[in-house]
Chains A and B, each alone.
Chain A
Amino acid sequence: MAPTVQSSAASNDYRYLVQDDRIHGSLYTDPRVFADEMERIFTDGWVFVGHESEVPEIGDWVSRRLGTEPVLMVRNRDGAISVVANRCAHRGTTLCPQNDGNNRNFRCAYHGWTYDLDGTLLGVPGPKGFHKDSADLGLDRPGQVDDYRGFVFANRSGTAGPLSDHLGAGGTDLIDRTSNMSPTGRVRLSAGWIGQRIDSNWKMWPESDHDGYHLNFTHASMARAVPDTYYDEIVMTGEEASESATRAYDGGHLELDFRRSYTAELAWLGTTREKVADYCEALEGSYGPEKAKTIMWDGPPHALVFPNLFLAEMNIARIEPVSPGVTVHRHTPLLVEGTDESVNRRLVLQSEAAMGPASFFLTDDAVIAERMHRAFEGAAVGDDGWVDLSRGLEREQSADGQRWSDITDETTNRGFWHHYREVMASVAGDRHNGV
């Protein structure tokens, strides 16, 4: 059927493009949609930046993106975390082209403007020719920066309300469960980030990462190559046989909840207590035997904190939109503190198998996303090019700010898109004069 092309205004009618049981494929490929997302999701909303453990020393910084906006997350002189634009306030040169580093201050290579770690302009060469108040010419900064258990978020516009509202009960619980995997309650992201470049839209990643329906097909090669991974018991047992659940929390946060499927403690770590005795004892020492037992059985969540933080079991991943058709998916192993390093070595090895461009899982997801993106490159709004997301709609349940259903149901996809619709269809409020 030939597409019924509507006016350009309709291409941004998000209440039409995102329906309860389907979404339109142009949402992946239309550059106007991408531009709206950079404003309404990545400027007006809260975005995950990094973890405070990544910048332990004064002057440590890491390079990040808030949507497509380049920023630095910096450890200040007073020990607090700053997020500043990675762009000189003078003529806009990138200040730090590397991934990370440690600086006493930031000096622009073009004309030598120099900034303190928090972005304050310290000095300019030839100050007599310069009559503006330097207090007005610091680095651009997001309107709000806050953290929860060391997970740092920023909201460029400053209008998004408190971080605790954004996280809600669902997001807060997910970050708590992730952080509690460490005996000290503080995780450490110090093993480096691997980036995977995928030629697909970024939204295919919150979807793919939280799709409980695809494993038997997309990851069939892994099931055949290693028949005894723990994924067999939690998701590959088939519809209704698995005790796992798919969950969508208020605020667009998602989870593939494997907790009830694990048949042994530490199944998520692929090992037994004897191999990681020091870690288990440290958990018991910190949390007491009951809570430690829950942690050891339940393992870490597999979850999205909207829009870009993937709590990927014992990895943390960031979903980085580059352009409508390019995404970078970055991950780092979730390391723990308060125990010997052997468990962290194990976690690095596990991370290398699961995540990244040479891993056993994400390589197949990447090709599927790239095929999907190509299939929608011609999508114009009309009768063709819809994505069906109706699976399980009639059997999912809801209560207390969440929906849940069978692990194979598209409750997560719908949860993402329905929140997306609310964000994208809302009229932007007054914008903070920030980054």
Chain B
Amino acid sequence: MATVDEPTRRDIEAFVYLEARLADESRYDEWEALVTDDMHYWVPFGPGDYEPGTRVSYINDNRARLGTRIRQLATGVHHAQDPPSSMRRVVSNIEILSAGGEEFEVGSNFVLYEHAVQATGHLRLWAGRTTHRLRRTADGLRMAGKKVELVNSTSPLPNLPFII
């Protein structure tokens, strides 16, 4: 666990909440503006304790593939998010796991309720732990990594076409 000054802690927490709200509201242009050029977005199968690419993951996006994901969401004909899911997530247990130079590793837990309106109308529940890698830049904090370890990732999952 790292100790940071209070203004830094407040900035980090505000960033995590903003990132969650933009994802909830499918505001992908604004969400994408939060990421760095070396962003890695990863949803592993099981605990994220393996090197991505050595075994198959749900999502293992470098910056280019993340760009494709967001472009697909913006086409207006991505049936899996047409219309977009109605979502709200609760983010808690925010801890600054490490702080070195201009980078911070931040852990948090989340519970996400998704109304899958595209076909079934089911209320889907997602839960897990997020590890953000945040970097202080001239434009403020930006996200260089987001790892989402779902509590039930070893069981079959329904569609996950949105940013979790």
Contacts and interface: CB of A to CB of B under 8 A. Distances in A.
Interface residues of B, number: 33
A330 B156 contact: yes
B68, B119, B160, most chain A CB atoms within 10 A: B119
A365 to B, nearest CB: 9
A221 B55 contact: no
Nearest to B122: A199
Contacts of A352: 56-60
A351 B155 CA distance: 18
A345 interface: yes
A411 interface: no
A337 interface: no
Interface in A178-237: 190-199, 218, 220-222, 224-226
Interface string A335-365: 0000000000100110111001110100110
A348 B53 contact: yes
A374 B55 contact: no
A191 B75 contact: no
Interface in B123-164: 154-161
Given A194-B56, A332-B56, A364 B120 contact: no
Given A99-B154, A332-B56, A348-B56, A367 B68 contact: no
A67 interface: no
B75 to A, nearest CB: 4
Nearest to B161: A363
Nearest to B155: A195
Contact of A221 (B45, B54, B72, B155): B72
A230 B120 CA distance: 32
Given A357-B160, A367-B80, A333 B58 contact: no
A367 B60 contact: no
A200 to B, nearest CB: 9
Name the residue in A195, A221, A357 with the highest tally of chain B Cβ atoms < 10 Å from its Cβ: A221
A194 B126 CA distance: 17
A32 interface: no
A230 B77 CA distance: 20
A357 B159 contact: yes
A224 B58 contact: no
Interface string B65-107: 1001101100111111000000000000000000000000000
B118 interface: yes
Interface residues of A, number: 41
B43 interface: yes
Nearest to A194: B56
A63 to B, nearest CB: 11
A361 B138 CA distance: 37
Contacts of B120: 199, 370, 374
A64 to B, nearest CB: 14
A366 interface: yes
A356 B58 CA distance: 7
Contacts of A328: 156
Nearest to A341: B54
B77 A224 contact: yes
B157 to A, nearest CB: 5
B55 A360 contact: no
Contacts of B78: 221, 363-364
B75 A220 contact: yes
Interface of B: 43, 45, 53-60, 65, 68-69, 71-72, 75-80, 118-120, 122, 154-161
Given A220-B77, A363-B161, A374-B120, 20 more contacts: A192-B45, A192-B56, A193-B56, A218-B79, A221-B72, A221-B79, A225-B68, A225-B72, A226-B68, A226-B71, A348-B55, A348-B56, A352-B59, A357-B161, A360-B68, A363-B80, A364-B78, A364-B80, A367-B80, A367-B118
